[in-house]
Amino acid sequence: TVGAAGAAGLVVGGAGGALGVSAARSAGRDAAHEALTTIGSTEVPFRQARAKHQAGITTPLQASGHLVAFDLAPGADRKAAAALLRRWSRTAEELMAGRTPDADTGVALDAGPSSLSITFGLGHSFFDRTGLQKQRPVQLDPLPEFSADALDPDRSNGDLWIQIGADDALVAFHALRTLQKDAAGSARLRWQMNGFNRTPGATAHPMTARNLMGQVDGTNNPKPSDKDFDERIFVGRDADQAWMRGGSYAVVRRIRMLLDDWEKRSRHDQEKIIGRRKDNGAPLTGGSETTPMRLEASGADGLPVIPANAHARVAAPESNQGAAMLRRPFSFHDGFREDGAPDAGLLFVCWQADPLRAFTQVQRKLDSGDALSPFLRHEASGLFAVPPAAEPGGYVGRPLLE
């Protein structure tokens, strides 16, 4: 999974780092210059060797993230949008390689690329602003309303969207500031959300991430090794809008967790609500984290072991005509609300070739009464077309904009 792959082979964390230093001393080298880990030096390529998609989709989850939406400035047209995406692509390529611009704030000096990924998307309104309505894919049609939605329009949608992820918070912030400066005059910040995941190396071995409810989250994600992975996650070669072939659609939801209510529930209740154990993420029907759920199994009381309204059952492809998406979220914590409750939860980001057949299908099901929904509030929403990676010498979105 994205989660489990996160730290694979990359990191010497905590105690390992200290061992590295003492090993260096005993070897007579300058301990001050011995790398503690490979976190900083790990690079995510802006142009992937064979894959046609942008970084930040199948890239392992990073520890720190920013989701940002921009609106084109009044008067900015298609040409201005093309120039902006050209500037942004150039910046992304430089920063992801660990190079900083000449006139720079210095925030990321000393750090390596730190697995920085920068991903660009286009919202429904982008096509109106640039006169490209004919090129707008139907997949960008607004998401339906769900009964549990309490969406803030000011923190939803937007002409342009950027996802930034890095394993160092200063590197992520620096990327955000640099991209924001690149936009000056042509686009204005609409909303910004900040998120985090577990730091690579914090666990003794690579593990799937946990969310702020404490659950192992990301287990049953589609995996790049699945034979239908590309078909489910990336836009196919026969898509109507040729410029989106190899791209993907991102659904973004700011989902606040009602943690005061959740944390009052017993471990037993919490596990029934999801259908999986809390400690190791295994299905309630037994085995380990990766053992398939036995949805048909019933207990001595004749009831299903994984309850009929358990989140993992209701969301599963088996319950949704095969619908699947790649969930790649960040957690968030924006302080406390007036009532003292944490303003915290999940910046849910999911990737799919067709949102109507993936996110919308599953969210409709969940909305009609899964056991987790009473503990959640969907507070902001976005849907973005994420074009394929830039060609050498090109920029993201060029086939659409030129």
- Which residues lie near ligand HEM (CB under 6 A)? 211, 213, 215, 217-220, 253, 255, 257, 274, 276, 311-312, 315-317, 345-346, 348, 359, 362-363, 366, 376
Q: Catalytic: which of 71, 159, 182, 217? A: 217
CB 155: neighbour CB atoms within 10 A?
A: 17
Q: Residue 361 class from Cβ within 10 Å (0-12 exposed, 13-18 middle, 19+ buried)?
A: buried
Q: Closer to ligand HEM at the Cβ: 129 or 253? A: 253
CB 327 within 8 A of CB 208: no
Q: At its nearest, how many Å lie between ligand HEM and the CB of residue 375?
A: 8
Sign of CA dihedral 229, 56, 65, 62: positive
Do the bridges between strand 376-386 and strand 160-166 make them parallel or antiparallel, or are there none, so unpaired? unpaired
Q: Count CA atoms closer than 13 A to 215's CA, side-chain side.
A: 27
DSSP letter (8 states) at residue 357: I
Q: How far is the CB of 363 from ligand HEM (least distance, A)?
A: 4
With a CB cutoff of 8 Å and minimum separation 6, the contacts of 84 are 76, 160, 182, 183, 186, 187
User: Residue 348 Cβ, how far from ligand HEM at the closest point, in Å?
Assistant: 5
Mark whether 217 is an active-site residue.
yes
The gap from C-alpha 104 to its chain's centroid, in whole angstroms, comes to 27
The single-letter DSSP state of residue 139 is G
Instruction: Give the distance from CA 310 to its chain's centroid.
Output: 23
Half-sphere exposure of 61 (CA within 13 A, CB side): 33
Six-digit token string for 93: 């390529």
CA distance 146 to 138: 20
What is the nearest approach in angstroms of ligand HEM to the Cβ of residue 198?
A: 15
Q: Is the CB of 199 or the CB of 363 nearer to ligand HEM?
A: 363
> Parallel, antiparallel, or unpaired: how do β-strands 64-72 and 187-196 relate?
antiparallel
Closest CA to 96 of 149, 21, 140, 43: 43
What are the catalytic residues?
217
